[in-house]
Structure formats: C-alpha cells, structure tokens
Amino acid sequence: MKILVPVKRVVDPNVKVRVKADGSGVDLTSVKMSMNPFDEIAVEEAVRLKEAGKATEIVVVSAGIAAAQDALRTALAMGADRAILVDTDAEVQPLAVAKILKALVDKEQPKLVIAGKQAIDDDSNQTGQMLAALLGWPQATFISKLVPGADDITITREIDGGLEQLAVKLPAVVTVDLRLNEPRYATLPNIMKAKKKPLETVKPADLGVDVTPRLTILKVAEPPTRSAGVIVSDVAQLVDKLKNVAKVI
Amino acid sequence: MSTYDAPLADMKFDMNELAGLKEILALPAFAEIDADTVDAVLEEASKFATEQIDPINIIGDRKNSPKWDNGVVTVSPEYKSVYNQFRDNGWHAMPGAPEYGGQGLPNLVNFAVNEMWRSASIAFALCPMLTMGAVHAIEHHASDELKRKYLPNMVAGIWSGTMNLTEPQAGSDLTAIKTKAKPNPNGDGTYLITGTKIFITWGEHDMAENIIHLVLARLPNSDPGLKGISLFLVPKFLVGDDGSLGARNDLICSAIEHKLGIKGSATAVMSYGDHDGAIGWLIGKEGNGVAYMFTMMNHARIHVGLEGISVAERAYQHSLAYARERIQGAIIGDAASKTTPKPILFHPDVRRLLMEQKARTEALRAVGYYAAGQMDIANFSTDPAAKKKAQAILELLTPIVKGWSTESSIELTSAGVQVHGGTGFIEETGAAQYYRDCRITAIYEGTTAIQANDYVGRKTAREVNKETGDVAFTARGLYKEILAFANGLAADAELGDIGKVLADATQALIDATEWVVGIYNTDPANAHAGSVPYLKLGGIVTGGWLLAKSAKIAQAKLGAGETGGYYKGKIATARYYAKHVLVQAQGLKATITEGGPAVFGLDEPLF
C-alpha cells in the first residue's frame, strides 16, 4: 500500500506570533518555521505502518515556497521515502491545495492519504475533506486510532459525544488528531540520509492547477484583550449585568 | 521557568558570515555534506535539546542528583532515559570519525550542536564530552588493536570514557602525579595500576554499560618529571576479544563530590588497585602521557570555553523571559506606566543587564565559532599556507575562548540572577543554577590563570617565527588586521562610532602587547601579574572586532532589502558592546602596563 502524506511548513508552535502593523497578516520575518504538528503525526503514522509491513512506500507532498523543502526533508528524515514539492510563491488556500493533491493522487495512485486535521497557522480544517470530495473517496476525519485491514481500515475518531469507530474502504482520505501517536525525533543518521532521498519539484501549472486565491483576507487582528471581571453581590445583580451590560439575555 | 530555544539565527549567522562554513563545506573532506543537511541537523538537534535535555537540567541539580552507594553511582531515571535516546538517535556518535560510526561533519557544526546540548544541561552534556575526549586520545595515540576494541562502542555512547589526571597533590602541576603502573607479572603485556584520582567527571554512573578510564601514571624507574608519566587505558569491566564484557577490574569509585554546581554529573574519587592492581593497557609510548594530553588541549579547552558560551546564552533566555512577564514599579521616564503597568524589561537598568547578557554572549559566540572554523581550516584545508595560518590563529585564540568565555559567563549568569531580583537568590526560579553551574568552567581544563599564562607567554611573548625570527607574529598580525578593519569602519556614516571605539581598543591591545613582549624576558613576573587582564583585553577586542564585522554585514543585508529584526539587533548589540565593553580596553591597558608592581606592593607578612 502506497501512502501519500501532505505536509505544510508553518510558524513553529512555540513562537508567539505578532500581527503586522498594517493588519495584512502575521509577521513572518525571522520567525522560526516547522512542520505543522498535525502533519508530523500523519508522517509518524505512515512510517509506523511501513515499519509494521502494512505500507510499501510513503510519498510526502508540500505546496508552497522553496523553503517548504525543509518540512519535506524533516519528513524524509523521519522515514518517508520520497518527496514532491509543488513550488509556488502564491498563497495556497485549502481548495488549491486539495486540487494539487487530487492531481498528485491521480498520478501516484496511493491507497491512503493521511493528512493533518488542520494546519496551526490558518486552522482551516478543510483540505482533507475537500480532497476526499474531489476524489470521490471516503473520508475519516480527526482520527485517534488506525488499524489497517485487508482492503479497508478501522479507525477511531474523536467526536463531541466520545469516540466513534468506523470501517473505511480503501482508497480513502484520513485526517489525524493529536492523540493518534507521538511523533519520533529524526535520528542523526536518518537526517544525513534524507538528503540522498529523492525530492522532486513541480509547478502547479505542471499539474494543471490554478492556485489563484479565491478568498480575500480583509484584516488580521490580535484577539481583544480580556478586561478584568467583576464580582457580583447577588443573583439579581448578575441577571442585571447579563441583560444590560453583556446583553446576552 | 523558561524553555530553552536554540538561537539558530545567531548560530547560523556566525557560522556562515564569520566562521566560513561555506568555504569549509567546499573542502574535499566535506564533499558529502551540504548546507541544507547542516540546517536539518541544527533544527533537529535544537528540538532534542529543548524538549528532552533542557527539562532534566533541574532534575540533576535539585531533585535527583546522582547517588553514591558502596561504589555504585545511580542517576535519575530521567537522565538515563534521555541518555539512551541521545545515544540511540545517533547524537552521541556525531563528532566521531566516520570509520568508528561518526558523521564526519565539520568541527564547526559539531560546535554549534554542542552549544545546544550544553545550554540545555552542561552537567548532562559533560558525559558525552568526556567520552569524546577519551575517544580522541585513543584514536590519535593508541594501537590499532585498542582502537578496534574500544572506539566503536565509545563513539556510539554504549561505553563512556573519562580522563584521569588530577590527584589530591597534583592539580595544575602534573609533575606531582604519584599513581603507579607496573608491568603485569604474568607477562601478558598489560600493566597493573595503583593510586587515587580525584575530580573524575562522570567517573562512575549507570548510563553506560562500561566506562573506559584513561589514567596518567608513572612506570617504575621513570623520569621524576613530566616525561616519566604514561597514559593507560583502564576499563571498568575487562573486555573480551569478541567485545563481550568480562570481570570487574580492580577499580572503584570510593566517593562522589558535593559541589557548587554541575550537580547532575557525578564527580568521582577513583581508587585503582585496592587489591592486586587495576589492569591497564599502555596508550602509545612510555613517558608520552602528558604530551598526548596536550595534543588534545586545544580541542578540550575550546570546548570548555563553549560551556561558558552555552550557559551564558541559557541564562540570558531565562532572565529575558522573566523580565518580559514580571511587573514591578513604574518605569522611569514613562508616566503612562503608573496606570498601565509594564514589565521590568522597560526599567533602564534591567534593560542594561539584558543588553549586557545579549551583546556579550553574542561576542563570546562569535569568537568561539570563529575559532571552531579555524580548527576545520587547520585540519582540512588543501592550502598549506591557509592551514598554517589557521592553526596559529586557533592556538592564539584558544586561551581566549577558554578563559575569557568562562570568566564572562560568571558575570553574565550573575547578571541573570540580578534581573530576577530577590527571587534570583531563591533556587526555585532556576536563575541561580546557571550561575553555579558555570563557575567550574573557569577552573577545570586549566584555570583562567593557566590560560592567561599560555596567552601572554607561549602564544604571544614566546612565540617565535622559525624562519624570520619574528616574535609574537600571530598576535601582532591579527591585531593589525583588526586595526585596519576598525579604521575602515570608523569612516562609515552609520557605524563610524563603533569603528572608532574598536580602533582605540585595538590600539590599546597593540600597546599592551608591545609592552608585554618588551618586558617578558627581563621581568616575567610583572607581565604575568597582568596576564589575566591581558587575556580579558584580548577577548574584549576580538569579540568587539567580530561584532563590529557582524554589524557591517547586517548593514549590507538590510541595504540589500533583507528585512527582520535580527539584523537590526546585530547592529544594536555591536553598538552596545562598543560603548559598554570595548571602552574598558583603555583601563585594562593601564592595569597591564602599570599595575604589575602594585600586585607585589604588599609584603607577604603583611597579608
């Protein structure tokens, strides 16, 4: 079974981001970047499937600027076999990424796509679902367990009411949640070997995909700072405040 | 509590812009390594340092330090587990030679990665550091048989290594060594070792399966001086020809020390030969023990200097995190802060302390990385002239990196405690640990005075060019180069003020050097009375030179359209350093050239 894992290069989760003064976005200059943590979990799961003899090849894909190669190299160092960079300076939005992935799935014919459930920069949580729709494949989102079968997989997904178990026919798209696994550290010998693994670069146009953004960002702003609370003396005052100050009842 | 965040931007800047990583990677020795791989190694190492090593630093210090019981030393489960991962993930083997399982990366890259381990926990990182020291000694001087038998497991970190030099009566002066070695009466070519060694870092512990001790000892009827000392390999467990572990050797850890800092590491008293004698193997030739130790001195000293740099960086990050969140008092000159409180980072003197930590740590790193790069050029350049020059610069800078970085780290971690105010004096905040941990670095592997003696004597006044007869030619050449750069920078519209201070400071160093060279043969005690200030002056000026150079490079990058606070910061730290640190050069020059007699101004009975 071939597995395709999309990965995204995002602001490192430990970085405290700042909004640009003009409100056009987050200031990324000199900011540490890393692989999206959910994608690390996806790569880890694929590598574990391969180590268990359930997968034959792991292809990792990223769409973005040339520096997105760093995320691909990290995935190769973790154990992926080869990488494809879809090189574009344009801002790639979820639908464009889904179309790019659709084109690559058509070409690569994997049986399973394991994606992070969302990227921690824009938190869109759309790409996996859009990809499944474009492919006409079954999808299972937010999975916290994956057990491969003969021509299906059994997954556990986290839902509001608890855990849901589903059998999903292959080929399929799954998106992973935090509790699926704990990603490994790449070992030094594997980091050194990663350089020798194939990394292919293509342009969106080569795949016949138009990545022109469909969404316009109007403004990016810091969340409003919370003001201090007040202690109310009785229920009547609480109701009054909720009615007249917070205006929620 | 803060979390360690490797300063990758500054590390990469120093490696690329100051230390010549590009030129080093272009050397045939590193044909297999490229810049992307180096980046990937640094990234992954920073992750491991932050997530795995940094959290155990406090455990080794205050929660669960190594415990001694009847010769057995047990470390905390956390230390053991991180050591196992460190070894299994291949980090231990990294600096080793490829034929023994290492990665063949440039020393400069190893240096940067090692900075991360040591910033995260100097006590933990000492174990692999000592093992690699022993590996180098065996690799360069032992027989092929010993190399084959011991190196693969030592490089991998399955076995650890130690260096046994010090004895109660033999500290800085190794001639006083008494530990004895005699040929094994069974005639198998081994030796029996008896004696006591102290201050043996990681001399006993349970993280590795075997511990390989390198022990300096005297053979019967040998020269009573340094030439009578030989080096022996003495394993904790005897190793069979197939590499299997056999009987326990006749050596025991009789105690571990209670220390001011680096409490996470076990500092052992080692007792050899309580019964028949510990079985040892001679490394290299008889009587060459001390010489073998000295061939590794540059390496070991530069690495202890790096410990100073690393802890200074970690302490800065710790105090910065605190200064950003602690709110206390209205800010002088900022009326609005009375109603809208601001963190202490905005107080002028906290600001100064943080600049002191940041700018001076960057200066230390710049000189350390520059020296580490010179080591690669000296070892691997294909151009004999470049090799020779790099080796000379490395030797000149070695006592500076060791002595100046470690002495500075004491002041900078102290500044870190100061930023914390009263809570800095309380162990829970963690600021005190860095202050305690770095204290040893100015002592072991040659105290600051030993470094200063080396710098003023062998590296300066006693350095003679065999071909031309010139004295102190490496020092004079380097300082001339710095002066020329400073004079050029003095004409710069934006950075001219930095250039002028650097030029004056360099002139002070040149004047002090000429004074030292002039007086050394007639009044060496006078020269040595000012040797530590002279070492400090050398450090301050070389640091100022590389920071000024960094500012110039940053200016060019900003001019070429590169954005980002990092380059602006580089100019700001260079300027701070010029106005607060480089200006001290004049005072140091006066101390060096005029202060000697005052050192001897009080007759001994009057003390």
B242 DSSP β-pair partners: none
Minimum-distance CB partner of B9 among A30, A185, A187 = A30
CB nearest to B44's CB, from A32, A69, A186: A186
pLDDT tens track for A209-219: 999 999 999 99
Question: Is it the case that residue B297 has pLDDT exceeding 80?
Answer: no
The answer to whether residues B525 and B441 touch, using CB atoms and an 8 Å cutoff, is: no
Inter-chain contacts counted by CB atoms under 8 A, chains A and B = 57
Neighbours of A71 (CB within 10 A): 25
Angle at A243 between CA A239 and CA A247, to 5 degrees: 140
Q: Is B47 exposed, middle or buried (0-12, 13-18, 19+ CB in 10 A)?
A: middle
Mean pLDDT of B541-568: 94
pLDDT of residue B85: 98
pLDDT tens track for B131-145? 999 999 999 999 999
- Type and span of the H or E element at B368: helix B348-380
Look up residue B366 and give its two tokens: 């710049």
Residue in B91, B105, B111 with CA at minimum distance from that of residue B11? B111
Contacts of B108 (CB under 8 A, 6+ apart): B15, B19, B21, B24, B369, B372, B373, B375, B376
Best CA proximity match to A139, nearest among A168, A98, A177 = A168
Nearest CA in chain B to A188: B90
According to DSSP, the β-strands at A152-159 and A162-169 are antiparallel
Question: Which residue of chain B comes nearest to A71, CA vs CA?
Answer: B40
Query: Cβ contact (<8 Å) for A188 and B88?
Result: no
Sign of CA dihedral A37, A41, A42, A47: positive
For A39, the 3-state DSSP assignment is helix
- What H or E segment, with its residue span, contains residue B188? none
- Residue among B48, B89, B117, B562 with most chain A CBs within 10 A, to mutate: B89
pLDDT score for A29 = 79
Residue that has been written with the tokens 């292919």 in this structure: A200
Choose among B359, B397, B318, B369: nearest CA to B42: B369
Determine the pLDDT at residue A172: 98
- Enumerate the residues of chain A whose CB falls inside 8 A of the CB of residue B36: 69, 73, 195
Q: What is the mean pLDDT of chain B?
A: 96
- Position B397 scores a pLDDT of 98
CB B573 within 8 A of CB B45: no
Confidence tier at B192 by pLDDT (50, 70, 90) = very high
Using alpha carbons, list the distances in angstroms from residue B537 to B478, B530, B589.
14, 10, 8
B566 contact A CB<8A = yes
Measured between alpha carbons, how far is residue A247 from residues A54, A240, B64 in Å? 57, 9, 55
DSSP type of residue A79: T
Q: Do A30 and B89 touch (CB under 8 A)?
A: no
- Residue in B with minimal Cα distance to A33: B43
Catalytic annotation present for B257: no
Catalytic residue among B17, B78, B167, B445: B445
Q: Give per-residue pLDDT as tens, A133-180.
A: 999 999 999 999 999 998 999 999 989 899 999 999 999 999 999 999
- Sorted by sequence, the CB contacts under 8 Å of residue B488 that are 6+ apart come out as B499
Cβ-Cβ contacts under 8 Å, A185 against chain B: 44, 47-48, 52, 85, 89
The residue written with tokens 């019967």 in the block is B220
pLDDT tens digit string along B215-270?
999 999 999 999 999 999 999 999 999 999 999 999 999 999 999 999 999 999 99
87-126 of B, contacting A, C-beta below 8 A: 88-91, 93-94, 103
Map residue B594 onto helix, strand or coil: helix
Nearest by CB: B563 against A29, A185, A195: A29
Contact B282, B230 (CB under 8 A): yes
HSE-up of residue B404 (Cα within 13 Å, Cβ side): 28
Query: Contact, B418 vs B424, CB < 8 A?
Result: yes
Chain A residue nearest residue B34, CA to CA? A195
**DSSP code, position B102:** -
pLDDT band at A129 (very low <50, low <70, confident <90, very high): very high
Contact state of B40 with A32 under an 8 Å Cβ cutoff:
no
Q: Measuring CA to CA, which residue among A90, A115, A89 is closest to residue A37?
A: A115
d(C-alpha A112, C-alpha A2), whole Å = 7
**Cα distance from N-terminal residue to C-terminal residue, chain B:** 45
pLDDT tier, B316 (very low <50, low <70, confident <90, very high otherwise): very high
Mind listing the pLDDT tens digit for each residue in A177-226?
999 999 999 999 999 999 899 999 999 999 999 999 999 999 999 888 88
CB contact under 8 A, A188 and B91: yes
Phi, psi of A245 (to 5 degrees): -95, -55
A229's tokens:
């609370």
- Cα gap A243→A230, rounded to integer Å: 15
- Summarize pLDDT for A5-50 with one digit per residue, the tens: 999 999 998 888 889 989 989 988 778 899 999 999 999 999 999 9
Structure tokens at B94: 């990294």
User: Are A185 and B103 in contact (CB < 8 Å)?
Assistant: no
For residues B284 and B292, the answer to whether their CB atoms sit within 8 Å is yes
Mutate to test the interface with B, among A20, A30, A188 (most CBs of B within 10 A): A188
d(CA B471, CA B217): 36
Q: What is the pLDDT of residues B355-410, one digit of tens each?
A: 999 999 999 999 999 999 999 999 999 999 999 999 999 999 999 999 999 999 99
Domains and CATH numbers, chain A: 2-244 (3.40.50.620)
Q: Which residues of A touch B88 (CB under 8 A)?
A: 187
Closest CA of chain B from A77, distance in Å: 9
φ, ψ of residue B69 to 5 degrees: the values are -145, 110
Give dist(CA A109, CA A104) in Å, integer.
Answer: 8
User: By the 8 A CB rule, do B435 and B418 touch?
Assistant: no
Percent of chain B with pLDDT over 90: 95
With 0.90 as the threshold, say if the pTM is over it: yes
Q: Which amino acid is at B142?
A: A
State the smallest CA–CA distance between residue B353 and chain A in angstroms: 23
SS3 B181: strand
Cβ-defined contact of B8 to A32 (cutoff 8 Å):
yes
CB-nearest to A185 from B8, B47, B564 is: B47
H-type helices in B446-495, by residue range?
A: 448-456, 473-490
Say yes or no for a CB contact (<8 Å) between A185 and B89.
Answer: yes
Q: Between the CA of residue B379 and those of B131, B300, B372, B498, what are the distances in Å? A: 21, 16, 11, 34
| Paired tokens of A212 | 């022109």
How far A136 CA sits from the closest chain B CA (Å)?
Answer: 37
Q: Which residue has the tokens 């700042």?
A: A18
The Cα–Cα gap between B569 and B560 comes to 16
**Which residues of chain B does A18 touch, with a Cβ-Cβ cutoff of 8 Å?**
none
User: What type of residue sits at position B160?
Assistant: S
A172 Cβ neighbours under 8 A, 6+ residues apart: A111, A112, A113, A132, A137, A138, A139, A140, A153
CA distance A248 to A239: 10
The phi and psi torsions of A35 (rounded to 5 degrees) equal -75, 140
ipTM for this model? 0.89
CB contact under 8 A, B40 and A30: no
From residue A130, alpha-carbon distances to A71, A85, A133, A214, A224 in Å are 22, 20, 5, 14, 32
> Would you place residue B426 in the very low, low, confident or very high pLDDT band (cuts 50, 70, 90)?
very high
AA letter at A95: L
